Amino acid sequence: MTPEFVTSVGKQAIETLLLVSAPVLIAGMVVGLAVSIFQAVTQIQEMTLAFVPKIIVVFLVLLGLSPWMMEIMMKYTSDIFINIPNYIR
For the stretch 32-89, pLDDT in tens is: 999 989 988 988 888 788 889 999 999 999 999 999 999 999 999 999 999 888 777 7
Number of domains in the chain: 1
Rounded to an integer, what distance in angstroms lies between the CA atom of residue 72 and that of residue 85? 22
Q: How much is the pLDDT for 83?
A: 85
What residue numbers bound the domain in which 49 lies? 3-88
Lowest pLDDT segment from 5-14, 25-34, 43-52: 43-52
41, 75 Cβ separation under 8 angstroms: no
Q: How much is the pLDDT for 45?
A: 81
60, 28 Cβ separation under 8 angstroms: no
Give 6's pLDDT tier (boundaries 50, 70, 90): confident
Rounded to an integer, what distance in angstroms lies between the CA atom of residue 46 and that of residue 52? 11
